[in-house]
Amino acid sequence: TWVPFAELLAEITSVLELEAELKGTTLAMTGSVQEEVYCDRVRIKQVLINLLGNAIRYTPPEGRVEVSVSVGLGKVQVVVRDDGPGIPPESLPYLFDRFYRVEGSRNRQSGGMGLGLAIAKEFVEAHSGRLQVKSELGEGTAFTLILPLFPVS
């Protein structure tokens, strides 16, 4: 179905804003999208909630999470960037595997099944989209979600 993407983003940030606020983390939104996107609303919502939820969960309280959205070349791009601990380069190849979680005390105590990114990647690929990660230890992490605006046959 056609999904007003700005509305979907607003729905997600309104929920996660509260979570970030309770933790003391800054959640910022930049850019805009006027277009509707042909996608499965429930699944893409789940993808974005996981990316944003991860960014908030794995970033220290005083951290900052930024969501930037832009449209171009028939695609919508959403970048979720945090200034948290980053992901070790040796973990990056396994990040989208089921049940994979990066070793370390920081995430053992904080729930999580290690399924979110595996499911996200499946959903995104089912939409002919892409999900990429860039991360630098001690600097932060950025996930980029790219979705075609129009149905792909």
Which residue ranges make up the site for ligand ATP (CB under 6 A)? Answer: 50, 54-55, 58, 82, 84-85, 87, 95, 100-102, 107, 112-118, 141
128 DSSP 8-state letter: T
Q: Between 112 and 148, whose beta carbon lies closer to Mg ion? A: 112
Q: How far apart are CA 108 and CA 118, in angstroms?
A: 18
The dihedral through the CA atoms of 119, 122, 125, 127 has a sign that is negative
User: Which amino acid belongs to residue 107?
Assistant: N
Report the residue closest to ligand ATP, judged by CB.
116
Q: Segment 117-136, which members bind Mg ion (CB under 5 A)?
A: none
At 47, list the tokens: 């993808």
Q: Per this entry, what is the length of the chain?
A: 153
Q: Between 50 and 77, whose beta carbon lies closer to Mg ion? A: 50
Among 63, 84, 86, 116, binds Mg ion (CB under 5 A): 116
150 DSSP 8-state letter: S
Q: How far apart are CA 91 and CA 68, in angstroms?
A: 25
CB of 93 to Mg ion, least distance (A): 18
Among 32-40, 47-55, 78-86, 96-104, which window interacts with Mg ion (CB under 5 A)? Answer: 47-55
Q: Between 74 and 106, whose beta carbon lies closer to ligand ATP? A: 106
Of ligand ATP, Mg ion, none, which one does residue 146 interact with (CB within 5 to 8 Å by kind)?
Answer: none
The b-or-e profile of 98-115 (16+ CB within 10 A means b, else e) is: eeebbeeeebeeeeeeee
Among 54, 59, 135, 141, binds Mg ion (CB under 5 A): 54
Contact residues: Mg ion, CB under 5 A? 50, 54, 116
